[in-house]
Amino acid sequence: MSKLTTLPASAPFAPEQILALNNVFGSASTVQRAWLSGFLAGLDAGEAKPATAAAPPAEKAKLTILYATESGNAEALAAKAKQEAAKRGFATKLLDMGDATLDQLKTAGSILAIVSTWGDGEPPQRAAPFMRAFMSDAAPRLEGVKFAVLALGDSSYAQFCETGKQVDARFAALGAIRAAYRIDLDLDYEAQAKSWIASTLETLAPKDAGSVIHVDFHKIPTTEAASKTAPFAAEILAHHKLTSERADSETYHVELALAGSGITYEPGDALAVVPQNDPALVSEIIAKLGLAPEPDLTEALTSRYDITTLTAKQMKDYALITKDDALSALAEDAAKRNEFLNGRQIIDLLEAFPHRIDPEAFTALLRPLAPRSYSIASSQKSVGEEAHLTVARVAYESAGRARKGVASTLMSDRRKAGGLLDVFVKPNQHFRLPKDPAAPIVMIGAGTGVAPYRGFLQEREATGATGKNWLIFGHRHFLYDFLYQLEIQAWLQSGVLSRLDLATSRDQPEKRYVQHVLWEQRDALRNQLAKGAVLYLCGDAKAMARDVDATLVRIFADGKDEAAGQSALDALITAGRYKKDVY
């Protein structure tokens, strides 16, 4: 039986204490847990009793696993939870929030919600229409419905697990019964998710049931986890810069060999790159800590740990282990803490509050190094056992220091043709070409947002699909950063691309973006949608996606109020005819 690392609702603590403890245990490292366990054992020697497992339900209890996902983590967890629930005898239904209606909630039985957060504290895009309805007065009362929420997020975002928090609070406000306390999980969510799901299913199971629960998530096949833990070392076949020397930023084209990997993908999928940190930064951190550059520590800081973010928890933990009162005061003051966190990384913390701590204590502070996703810019029907990526080099200055994006500069600066990159596929079922090859598509994107469309166009060319392909592409200067210009113009000439609209933002005094093209071409857009077109949006989530959405609302409102435009847009999303891959 696997260990439960979170407390069940039946634990002898107040609800808010359970929530707080679960969030501490949930994100504690092995070292921290071992320390706590020793500490508590020393405190109350002999009193601790091992948790006894409860029994599975004797009769089938109804359970709905409601998930909201963008890049598939919540979806994969929901699938695992479904298998576990089935083993325990639940009658389980998986429900994507992107397909869910409010009516389904009342008849859902118990609800286990697994919800990720995107943008800046926003729901995954396909879940947005449901969330709008769920948060509105239209939501039904849910007395008698039991629920529990597992929130996925990234603690380096200010709005950590915001959507999960909102879902949890909303269920309670609608009168539903909280069966287990919400857990907010960071990028290294797998182990805590397993035990929370196990303990929550235990809580939700009817109490009159029989035998001992057997929890073995390891036996559940998960291609995602397997590839994440065992990525494929792909050779870089080609590597070149797509932007000119005069462009404001650098974007690279990277071709990877997949032969022998067994990896297959569809246009619209992403390739995850398991990165390595910049060796110069690793050396600087080791030097700041006053440690020797031992190979084990260097390897760990290069390949295993995230050394380029800084979270509130890390500030607090570092203050605790260094007993630094000034840092402790800063970490406890939310306004000052957030001001310090803004634009800073772990190295800035070490610089501002220098202490000698041993390597184990330091690495216990760090989060695991997370893979980064890149939209695949090719179709296997065209390139065979290769995957092509379009990578924008991330480099900027903050808090007086030059910073480099971990994965993008690995690919732009530190790996060239002949080098290796560890990769695995992140399938994206929700950003696929229409099944009907005759359906028109409208592809809107800016910068690296063009990447999946290169894959779409290769696919449609290779399969001889007859549907019209319209590309609306935004970039800065026609001459410097028109990515894949020659290929796109060749597609336009051969008729694979039926229409191309460019929005070059800096070639004229007024900024011109893709949303301006959309507004100008609104009649043509309506015309394509009337013919069954599927609309795609890819690229920057913060500015572009918001502005495009607002423009689409305006177009669909068609002179009526904003609410009418929004509900027309929501209807398009729900029908799977407006698909976004924004980041």
Ligand X SMILES: Cc1cc2nc3c(=O)[nH]c(=O)nc-3n(C[C@H](O)[C@H](O)[C@H](O)COP(=O)(O)O)c2cc1C
Beta carbons within 8 Å of 513's beta carbon, 6+ residues apart: 446, 474, 503, 505, 544, 547
Measured from the CB atom, the residue of 56 and 275 that comes closer to ligand FAD is: 275
Write down the residue that tokens 């950590």 correspond to. Answer: 160
From 20-28, 57-65, 406-414, 546-554, span contacting ligand FAD (CB under 6 A)? 406-414
Q: Residues interacting with ligand X, by CB under 6 A?
A: 69-74, 116-121, 124, 152-154, 157, 159-162, 187, 541, 583
- The interface with ligand FAD within residues 53-82 (CB under 6 A) comprises 71
574: nearest Cα among 129, 72, 277: 129
Q: Between residues 111 and 392, which has the closer beta carbon with respect to ligand FAD?
A: 392
Least distance to ligand X, CB of residue 121, Å: 5
- The entry of ligand X, ligand FAD, none that residue 375 binds, CB within 5 to 8 Å by partner kind: ligand FAD
* Spatial separation of the C-alpha atoms in residues 301 and 178, rounded to whole Å: 40
Nearest to ligand FAD of 194, 404 (CB atom): 404
As a whole number of angstroms, the distance between CA 132 and CA 122 comes to 11
Segment interacting with ligand FAD (CB under 6 A) among 121-129, 235-243, 312-320, 394-402: 394-402
Residue 312: other Cβ atoms inside 10 A: 18
With CB cut-offs between 5 and 8 Å by kind, which of ligand FAD, ligand X, none does residue 81 bind? Answer: none
The minimum distance between CB 402 and ligand FAD, in angstroms, equals: 11
Instruction: Kindly identify the residues of this chain, within the stretch 314-343, that bind ligand FAD according to CB under 6 A.
Output: 343
Given ligand FAD, ligand X, none, residue 195, with its beta carbon under 5 to 8 Å by kind, binds none
In whole angstroms, give the CA distance from residue 454 to residue 456. 5
Asked if 446 touches ligand FAD (CB under 6 A), the answer is no
- Judged by CB under 6 A, the residue of 394, 462, 550, 568 near ligand FAD is 394
Minimum Å gap between C-beta 158 and ligand FAD is 11
**Candidate segments 198-206, 402-410, 473-481, 558-566, binder of ligand FAD by CB under 6 A:** 402-410
Comparing CB distances to ligand X, the nearer of 98 and 474 is: 98
Residue 212 burial (CB count, 10 A)? 11
Q: For 156-168, b where at least 16 C-beta lie within 10 A, e where not — what string?
A: bbeebbbbbbbbb
Question: Do the Cβ atoms of 225 and 190 come closer than 8 Å?
Answer: yes
Q: Which stretch binds ligand FAD (CB under 6 A): 57-65, 108-116, 403-411, 547-555?
A: 403-411
375 is an interface residue for ligand FAD by CB under 6 A: yes
Nearest residue (CB) to ligand X, 187 versus 443: 187
| Interaction partner, residue 581 (ligand FAD, ligand X, none; CB < 5-8 Å by kind) | ligand FAD
Identify the bridge partners of residue 389 per DSSP, sorted by sequence position.
Answer: 254, 376
Instruction: Quote the CA–CA distance of 204 and 210 in Å, as a whole number.
Output: 14
Regarding 372 and contact with ligand FAD (CB under 6 A), the answer is yes
**399 binds ligand FAD per the rule CB under 6 A:** no
Select the span of 172-180, 188-196, 373-381, 510-518 touching ligand FAD (CB under 6 A). Answer: 373-381
**From 64, 166, 227, 448, residue interacting with ligand FAD (rule: CB under 6 A):** 448
Among 115, 167, 406, 457, binds ligand FAD (CB under 6 A): 406
For residue 16, the tally of other CB atoms under 10 A from its CB is: 9
In our burial notation (b when 16+ CB lie closer than 10 A, e otherwise), range 440-460 reads bbbbbbbbbbbbbbbbbbbbb
State the DSSP string of 242-257: -S-TTSSS-EEEEEEE
Residue 160 Cβ vs ligand FAD, minimum distance, rounded to whole Å = 14
| 8 Å CB contact between 513 and 474 | yes
For the bound state, the minimum distance from the C-beta of residue 322 to ligand FAD, rounded and expressed in Å, comes to 25
Name the helix (H) or strand (E) containing 400.
none
- The pair of structure tokens assigned to 578 is 């407006």
CA-to-CA distance for 415 and 433, rounded, in angstroms?
32
Of 374, 456, 491, 578, the one binding ligand FAD by CB under 6 A = 374
Inter-CA distances, 161 with 133, 139, 282, 309, Å: 20, 22, 29, 17
Q: Check the CA dihedral 519-523-526-528 and report its sign.
A: negative
Q: Which residues lie near ligand FAD (CB under 6 A)?
A: 71, 270, 275, 308, 343, 372-375, 390-392, 394, 396, 398, 405-408, 448, 451, 581, 583
